[in-house]
Structure formats: structure tokens, C-alpha cells
């Protein structure tokens, strides 16, 4: 296999997907023909949405936009990447505060799989303050997150008991 692959994998919790994530995917599509949004099936005991629901919401959000695929994975990201024959890991960089963590994980991924390459994109500045954690907190306290999350996520949140 050529080491150049047209697929970038965008891993994360996406609980829930918000417009900062969407912005990163849109930007990535100007560089890579295919972006796989990969939901980490982590052990968070109180998720808002199950991994399967998150995948569905990502699919609904990007329906009609070619080149975007949503799936979930468990275990090591690099194992998932190998299996998908993809070596580009896409991550968002909101601010300097993201840097240390991202740098640490990137170096670990590369230690685990020397072919892993990371691409960091920055969102439009209007999204830099967004995180899934903040969305969850605002929603749990009864706040309106319209305009911060894609419409399919907003609709799903409105149906969810708080």
C-alpha cells in the first residue's frame, strides 16, 4: 500500500457532536477526499448519547455531504487505523490549552504505530469556546444550545429527558 492515503480519521467522543467538530470536518474535506468520524466507545458512565446514537447523529448531520463516514471503535485508535488502512489522524486545536494533551497523545500514537501522522486544524474563532462538556452542562441545566450544535443533535436533545 502506498503510504499516501486519502482518508483522515477524526477520533473523539462526540458526546454530542457540536459545530466546532462540524467546522473541523468541513475544513478537512478541503484537504482529504474522505473523512471518517470515529466515535470512541469509551467508558464514560454517564454519556448523553450511546456510541450508536452518536454515530447516527453524525450520519444525519453530514447526510448529503459526500466523503464523510461515521463509525465507532473501541480499543486503541492505531489498531482501528491499521484496520482501516488509514494513517492520518485528524484533531482539532482550539487553543494553546489543547496543545499539551494533543502533543502527548500524538507522540504516544506514533510510538505505538510509526506510520501514524497527525493533522491539527483550528476552527473558526466563533467555535473555539465550544466543547461537548460545556454543551452537556448547559443542556443539563436547561439552557438552549440552538446554534451551537447541528440541527439533528438539537432535535435529539429536545427529545431527551433532562
Assess whether 158 carries a catalytic annotation: no
Q: Who's near 16: CB < 8 A, 6+ residues apart?
A: 48, 49, 54, 57, 132, 135, 136, 149, 153, 156, 157
73 binds ligand ADP (CB under 6 A): no
Stretch that binds ligand ADP, among 19-27, 45-53, 58-66, 76-84 (CB under 6 A): 19-27
- Considering only 5, 7, 20, 77, the residue that binds ligand ADP (CB under 6 A) is 20
Q: What dihedral do alpha carbons 60, 128, 81, 48 form, nearest 10°?
A: -50
Assess whether 18 carries a catalytic annotation: no
- Considering only 5, 61, 109, 132, the residue that binds ligand ADP (CB under 6 A) is 132
Terminal Cα-to-Cα distance of the chain (whole angstroms): 48
- Considering only 5, 7, 9, 12, the residue that binds ligand ADP (CB under 6 A) is 12
* Continuous segment of H or E residues that includes residue 70: strand 68-73
Assess whether 45 carries a catalytic annotation: yes
- Applying CB under 6 A, the residues found at the interface with ligand ADP are 12-14, 20-21, 24, 91-92, 94, 98, 123, 127-128, 130-133
Amino acid at each position: 500500500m502506498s503510504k499516501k492515503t486519502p482518508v483522515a480519521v477524526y477520533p473523539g467522543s462526540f458526546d454530542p457532536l457540536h459545530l466546532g467538530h462540524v467546522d473541523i470536518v468541513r475544513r478537512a474535506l478541503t484537504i482529504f477526499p474522505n473523512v471518517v468520524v470515529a466515535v470512541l466507545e469509551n467508558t464514560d458512565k454517564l454519556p448523553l448519547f450511546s456510541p450508536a446514537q452518536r454515530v447516527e447523529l453524525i450520519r444525519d448531520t453530514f447526510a448529503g455531504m459526500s466523503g464523510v463516514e461515521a463509525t465507532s471503535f473501541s480499543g486503541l485508535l492505531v489498531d482501528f487505523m491499521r484496520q482501516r488502512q488509514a494513517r492520518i489522524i485528524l484533531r482539532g486545536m482550539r487553543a494553546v490549552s489543547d496543545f499539551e494533551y494533543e502533543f502527548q497523545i500524538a507522540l504516544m500514537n506514533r510510538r505505538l504505530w510509526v506510520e501514524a501522522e497527525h493533522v491539527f486544524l483550528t476552527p473558526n474563532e466563533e467555535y473555539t469556546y465550544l466543547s461537548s462538556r460545556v454543551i452537556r452542562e448547559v443542556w443539563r441545566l436547561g439552557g438552549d444550545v440552538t446554534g451551537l450544535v447541528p440541527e439533528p443533535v438539537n432535535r435529539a436533545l429536545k427529545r431527551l429527558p433532562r
